[in-house]
Structure 1
């Protein structure tokens, strides 16, 4: 390892000639990956990943050893070459993704991504993409940090970029900035804002109050850019209960879907019911210990039951197999039969000779029930 107990620098050279310092914090990290076209065939793709290692955010001295440090590390560049064989002779297509992070140890967003620049090598403005990410205020008391509040992607090169030589080696580290100039809306790919823990759905941005639970209550997407400002469309809204469970969702048209929960005496969920904007309700009964669905009922009152019956006489079943009792949509014995909920509620009639098949019956009102056993995964 580089500078391991002394000042000697150890480098690793990739297949494109790029030089990367082999620092201790990067042990086990992937540097280069190569894919071949078949066993013993030519190279199909190759990618080289370079990393940033922050200065120490904490340190502990050790007798006879170098200090033990805590560092952030993250990929800052991924260089990729792709073989192109459509013209017969092999040529190469080169792409690169560069990233920059908050490097200030004292910052609440220390180590979080701030800018990403995707481009060709050499850079062609037609393929440039620069993404800028910002974050909601940090709640240090509850340790709610790093929630993304806004992401904007534009078809312009990020500022502060320097191409390495060779290209597989970073030309600079954590120097990316927002583009110097963007022609909005023509060069805007997307712009998205995320709001947290606000049941009033206020649209003021940025939010000045730090999140208290980290629940996403609203998402707004830029739909236009007029008079120097974005025009937004609200695409999603949500409401949550005190446990952080979603109780209502609103789509972009304001249609509301509500979810209610049934809890037992110790506060564990035993049932979930969901009603959409059309008033159609589906529900599920769950086991409180493992949150496994035992009964699921759709909007047409068709129920699927999951249970663990004892094997029927003459039935062999592998250990660990699970059985499901399924009621299907109207599939009847005989023609012209109609749904009769009273008769259907009487339950399945299974053949004792073959428990997997329904009992042949002259009762035309009964739907077909089937018990299916499958090995538990």
Structure 2
């Protein structure tokens, strides 16, 4: 491949068509060509600043950048393939009342709140055995409220994929809510998450409206892999299959990363969203306080595990709290339990998935019924993690 000519055409295209350009992915069929082009791109970007609009995605050997409709790169070489980027939006969630004050006492935890979902899955009973110590979780979402008192001791390095010069500060609320359920650690007041000693790495791929490009999500997965995180929480979904997203998920899976994703909030009985639909992902449905599948939750054999997802109380912007419903909230509970498991024993993504499915509590009371996905239980999961 003629790397110099390729980058010259790319530079020309970026300069001429920025106003009419839309985001695309340029895939390289050869790993060698990709890394040669990336090296030259990084070298040239100092003298040709417009090339800074190109984002290398090592995990799928592709560039993400804006391209015009008549780009000359389309017919440049059989070594590259150009694909239009796709936009997705976080599912509109059903919310309860927003809680502006500090959390009240809901359980016997001094001045701290154990939200009902954390309590229902039995997390408090096993905190004497595991609190998720030193397990690193990438939350690919809208960012996090860095000043929230219940989260400031749980946050480590992250990335803002929308503006890499800024912190991944949450301007939507969804990411903060997810992080709270996973690892909030209110010391004297506030809430406690499922794995209060786990470490959250906020990966901001979604904007304030809850919208993101697939390329930003792939970049988030790539960042989690390159920073050797243990778990990748993806509390979002899309209806259509995307080969680039699948490639990123596969590569993360083969590098030992446990990926957890929400099944969707459409109430479908036989279909779930991507990336939860990929076999390498732990797919999560939602239950209510009665331990039944929530009406809004997608369901069926493609679900791996159900977890609390209705009116979940967690952290919110400005140091506040909010109740939200959705399979996104259920996914956060599962990521927390996986952190509890991994803190006890190193396990592969497939071992984690198998253990969660095997040790779930049955939601089907009929005798002799076929196996169906059950409800998350931290005590059973920890028992499974301790078994060789």
| TM-score bracket relative to the smaller structure | under 0.3
TM-score calculated relative to the size of structure 1: 0.20
Q: Which structure is larger by alpha-carbon Rg, 1 or 2?
A: 1
Structure number with the higher helix fraction is 2
